[in-house]
Structure 1
Amino acid sequence: MSATTAPSRARTGRRGALGWIALVMALALVALVGGSLVYGGYQRRAVLDPDSAGPDGTRALVRVLEQQGVRVTIARDRAAAARALAAPDATLVMRDAPMLSDAALRDLAARARHTVLVEPRSRALDVLMNGSSLGGIARDEAVAPACEVPAARRAGDARATELLVPGIGVTGCYPVDGEFALLTRERDGRTVTALDGLAVLTNAALPLDGDAALAIGVLGQSETLVWYVPSPSDADEGTAAPTLAELTPSWVTPSILLLLTAALAAAIWRGRRFGPLVTERLPVTVRANETTEGRARLYAASGDAAHALGELRRAARVRLGRLLGLAAHAPAVDVADAVADRLRADRFVVRGILVDDIPRTDRELVAAADRLRDLEASVRAAVRTEGTTR
């Protein structure tokens, strides 16, 4: 081994090692960023979440209630909510819980003295508020209470967006076109209230009009407030929709893993090694005149005189445009007009030579090619003459 070969191979080995290190670092970076995004997605609080300080969160309302002496308990599953509601005279606040059955909704509401639905949907309204339902959407503006509910009467005007239709025995407040922004039902000393939480309770909506007073009046009816945030795991056994893993046959997951492993092994096996690019010699070199002659024979064999003349015209227009100082992609008509101006010739005749005339026979093709050659020669002579005169 020569003295010059050893350092060269050492440099190549170092470059290969550095390439593999860069690949590993890149994969680690992708995994780190992906994990951060996934973890951040899990950590991101939902709308109307009592721990969220975002515009659609409700942490500001929770802090105000705590300052008013209300003990707020945040329950993030059904079991925790049931345990927290063991205290007498408690208020339950919950958003829509589609995973709960009708019986589960009734059971949870029966544990509380006051129940507040802050994101009501048709099923919960029908089950807990005696056949009430969703209505239309109102303009985001303040509305007078127009009812005798104490919390609404003390709050005065408040925002109304999502409207509700009351059922039998249900009182409506903040009317808009026959529908209401707040519904209340009282029975046996227990109350169920429904309102659009996004329009009244959120951090962004709380300072508007009488929203804060209405929120405190509805949610602060007792010393204990249980804010229930529904979880998908709260579904009753047998009522939850089957997951993708449950619907997938058992052989699918091992097959996917096997295919991914095979693809990774093939990528490593067939991947280009790290190092300098290698120039490969072509097996044969074709001269330009042979290519031109071959294309000419193809044109002759096809008998397409118009196409052959079009190729000649295209090349001639490029050369003429270069002689006359035109743009490389100047239209054919502009080249013809510039040639006519330089030669002081008839525009229609020049356009016929460079653009319009269509040969139908080989004889006409030869004549057109001769006119094209003579025109180019005349332009070259005119340009050369002007350069000599200057």
Structure 2
Amino acid sequence: MTPGVRRTLRRGRTWIVIALALLAGALVLVVVQGAVRAPGSPLAADNPAPGGAQALARVLADRGVEVGQVRSLDGALDAARGGATILLHDDLGVLDRERVRELASVADRIVVARPDFAALEVLAPGVRLAGAAGDAPADAACALPAADRAGALSDGQRLLAIDDDAEASGFAGCFPSGDGFAVVAGTSPDGAEVVLVGATTPFANETIDEAGNAALAIGLLGERDAVAWYLPGPGDADAADAPSLAELTPGWVSPVLVLLVVVTVAAGIWRGRRFGPLVVEDLPVHVPASETGEGRARLYARGSARLRSLDQLRIGSIRRLAAALRLPRSAEVDAVVAAAASTTGRPAASVRALLVDAEPQGDRDLVRLARDLDGLERAVHAAISPDQALEATDPTGRRP
């Protein structure tokens, strides 16, 4: 009945399989995410991955341009006050219009890679997103020196459209493709010189060496002695402007939740009343002692509780020995050991080891100790039983 390793594994094979499946799924997820997600921040100056821009940052540094990477708006404002060119790439879209306007009011020159709606509305009103270019722009067709030196750009460009108001305010496009431009330059309402690059391909490591991408990127960022590489992080987001849970939740959710609560309570009451009122009645219960003993023995065997099983046998033996030796119920174990040893003539150490100290190392030891306990009880009863002849002459059965 004692479960072994094989039996234990067979009993828990379902949970083992589930745990292995979950572990395998987690490993697959980690591998897939590691293979799909590019390491480092996109377009970061210290990121050597294909989506980073470490190559451009090192080329600028070799040309004497001081490249400083900032991850907070305060750092970008300090760099702008020092006259540095601000390279802005808000990949997460965390900057709101107020923060972009604050940056534009301080900076003299801002280069925006893949601008979002907030940047376009604040820095270049009238300029909007116009999709992706079908072919690689092959002609700058503008007066921007950096674009003119680049001559052409690689595939993967995104376009920006200029409406009449933006054109009247001085915004002009470079690298035309259809109705849009890959690069748009002009002056923001706050007076900052703004260059909008629709895509990140002119700056990224994997595409900077294609066509005139490198010439455009170096020309835009190398005009001044310092460049502030500003990649906004979650700390730049305005927590006060974040929508609340109630604002994000559709209007039908709250009524449905209330209805579900009401239906759950009604269903509980309905199902509960079907069983009728509770009845308190004393029911006679008879459990045979043999079934209780067998059930407890199976539990001990299933849990490999050999010592606990032996202790139960010892407790019963000690009680029976104390009663047979006419000892009080409050007698200590040592008194029972001494009386049993004196009665049977056995050494007190061996009797104590049998009743207290010995521990079974396996099922065989448990069976042997149980038999020894039974033998000790038999020996005590045999030693204290009255002589047959004396029993016939002395009706009281007293010992001589």
TM-score normalised by structure 2 residue count: 0.51
Find 2:40's aligned residue among 17, 37, 45. Answer: 45
Post-superposition shift, 1:99?
2.9
Give the letter for the 1:123 counterpart: A
Corresponding position of 2:159? 163
Partner of 2:84: 90
Describe the SS at the equivalent of 1:146.
Answer: coil
2:71 equivalent to 1:71: no
Write the distance in 1 (CA, Å) between the matches of 2:178 and 2:18. Answer: 64
Q: How many residues align?
A: 244
Structure 1: state its 5+ residue gaps.
Answer: 253-273, 276-390
**Corresponding residue for 1:55?**
50
Aligned-pair distance for 1:81? 2.8
Secondary structure at the counterpart of residue 125 of structure 2: coil
Structure 2 Cα separation of the partners of residues 157 and 133 of structure 1: 22
**Contact between 1:92 and 1:109, CA under 8 Å: does it hold in 2?**
no
Rounded Cα–Cα distance in structure 1 between residues aligned with 2:178 and 2:7: 80
Change (3 A) 1:71 1:169: same
CA contact (8 A) 1:121 1:133 kept: no
Q: Secondary structure at the match of 2:134?
A: strand
Matched-pair contact (CA < 8 Å) for 1:70–1:223? yes
Q: Any gaps of 5 or more consecutive residues in structure 2?
A: 258-301, 304-400
Instruction: Note the C-alpha offset of 1:219.
Output: 1.5
In the TM superposition, residue 83 of structure 1 has moved relative to its aligned partner by 3.9
* Equivalent position of 1:186 in the other structure: 187
Aligned residue number for residue 212 of structure 2: 210
Match of 2:331 in 1: none
Which residue in 2 is equivalent to 1:197? 199
Q: Secondary structure at the match of 2:220?
A: helix
1:252-271 equivalent positions in 2, closer than 5 A: none
RMSD: 3.9
Identify which range, 40-49 or 119-128, moves more after superposition. Answer: 40-49
1:36 shift after superposition: 5.7
Give how far 1:211 is off. Answer: 0.9
Q: Does 1:143 align with 2:110?
A: no
User: What CA distance in whole angstroms lies between the structure 2 residues aligned with 1:155 and 1:36?
Assistant: 41
Residue in structure 1 matched with residue 98 of structure 2 by the alignment: 103
- CA offset at residue 197 of structure 1? 3.1
Name the SS for the 1:107 alignment partner.
helix
Change (3 A) 1:241 1:68: farther
* Aligned partner of residue 163 in structure 1, secondary structure: strand
Within 2, Cα distance between the matches of 1:163 and 1:203? 21
With over 3 angstroms needed to count, the CA separation of the structure-2 counterparts of 1:35 and 1:137, relative to structure 1, is: closer
For residue 121 of structure 2, what is the aligned residue in structure 1? 126
What is the alpha-carbon distance in structure 2 between the residues aligned to residue 123 and residue 231 of structure 1? 16
Aligned to 1:231: 233
Q: Return the TM-score normalized by structure 1.
A: 0.52
Which is greater in Rg?
A: 2
CA distance in 2, matches of 1:18, 1:68: 67
Residues 189 and 131 from structure 1, CA distance in 2 versus in 1: closer, same or farther, beyond 3 angstroms?
Answer: closer
The aligned amino acid for 1:94 is L
SS in 2 for 1:130: coil
1:1-60 deviation digits (Å, cap 9, x = unpaired): xxxx77xx4556775899799689859956984996799699833433333333332222
Q: What is the SS of the residue equivalent to 2:241? A: coil
- Over 3 Å counting, the alpha-carbon distance change for 1:24 and 1:176 in structure 2 is closer
Q: Distance in 1 between the 2:16 and 2:131 partners? A: 58
Task: Summarize deviations over 1:175-214 as a string: whole Å, max 9, x none.
Answer: 2234221111137874110012333221222111111011
Determine if contact 1:162/1:181 at 8 Å carries over to the other structure.
yes
**AA of the residue aligned to 2:201:** A
Partners of 1:50 and 1:38 in 2: how far apart? Answer: 26
Shift of 1:113: 2.1
Aligned residues: percent identity? 31
- Shift of residue 174, structure 1, vs aligned partner: 1.4
Q: Quick one: distance in 1 between partners of 2:130 and 2:25?
A: 47
**Match in the other structure for 1:366:** none
- Contact 1:82 1:111 (8 Å CA) reproduced: yes
Task: Tell me the equivalent position of 1:368.
Answer: none
Equivalent-residue separation in structure 1 for 2:198 and 2:11 (angstroms): 61
Can you list the C-alpha shifts for 1:139-175, whole angstroms capped at 9, x where unaligned? 2324211111121122222236211123131121112
Following the alignment from structure 2 to structure 1, what is the Cα–Cα distance between the partners of residues 224 and 185?
A: 16
Cα deviation 1:65-106 (Å, max 9, x = unaligned): 1211222222223333334434x2111111246332222101
CA separation in 1, counterparts of 2:142 and 2:38?
Answer: 41
User: How far apart, CA to CA, are the structure 2 residues paired with 1:157 and 1:43?
Assistant: 27
Which structure 2 residues correspond to residues 252-291 of structure 1 after superposition, within 5 A? Answer: none
What does the per-residue CA deviation read over 1:252-271, in whole Å, with 9 as the maximum and x for residues that have no partner? 9xxxxxxxxxxxxxxxxxxx
